[in-house]
Amino acid sequence: MKKLLLIALCLSATTLIAASERGEQLTDEKCTSCHMTSSSSTKLKNGEMGAPPMWGVMKKVKSHFKTKEDGVSFIVDYTMDPSEDKMIFPPAAKEHFGLMPSMKGSVTTEEMKLIAEYLYR
């Protein structure tokens, strides 16, 4: 019985790690072409920034929402269907960068959840 429990625990830990790795990979594929991360900073030089850097986005999201749950659901909702009235960035961000294009069709909601969870780590 104990052995079974141990196996179950190991399996769920592996699933968690796999989800986080998948989240990182998806973030690299889907977000960093616009949102600079430390791993993409060599790709994007000054002046080539198409969007606020990811750490800036996450700082904003984390200070705006009290719980991780709310922050994650905001990210999923906003990225799938961005609009000016949902923005937590000030209007200047939109004037400077333009509104973020919807990720619909490029990422599934499930994948976006993995991305948001990974960004919130």
Can you tell me the distance from the alpha carbon of 110 to that of 97, in angstroms, rounded to the nearest whole number?
A: 27
Considering the complex, what minimum distance in angstroms separates the CB of residue 114 from ligand HEC? 10
Can you tell me the distance from the alpha carbon of 78 to that of 88, in angstroms, rounded to the nearest whole number?
A: 10
Considering the complex, what minimum distance in angstroms separates the CB of residue 95 from ligand HEC? 9
Which residues would be at the binding site for ligand HEC (CB under 6 A)?
30-31, 33-35, 50-52, 57, 61, 75, 78-79, 82, 87-89, 93-94, 97-101, 103, 107, 115
Q: Of 14 and 108, which has the nearer Cβ to ligand HEC?
A: 108
Q: Of 19 and 87, which has the nearer Cβ to ligand HEC?
A: 87
Contact 70, 89 (CB under 8 A): no
Can you tell me the distance from the alpha carbon of 71 to that of 64, in angstroms, rounded to the nearest whole number?
A: 8
For the purposes of burial, counting CB atoms within 10 Å of the CB of 47, is it exposed (0-12), middle (13-18) or buried (19 or more)?
exposed
Considering the complex, what minimum distance in angstroms separates the CB of residue 18 from ligand HEC? 19
Considering the complex, what minimum distance in angstroms separates the CB of residue 94 from ligand HEC? 5
Q: Of 7 and 64, which has the nearer Cβ to ligand HEC?
A: 64
Beta-bridge partners for 47: none
Q: Of 4 and 91, which has the nearer Cβ to ligand HEC?
A: 91
Can you tell me the distance from the alpha carbon of 102 to that of 44, in angstroms, rounded to the nearest whole number?
A: 21
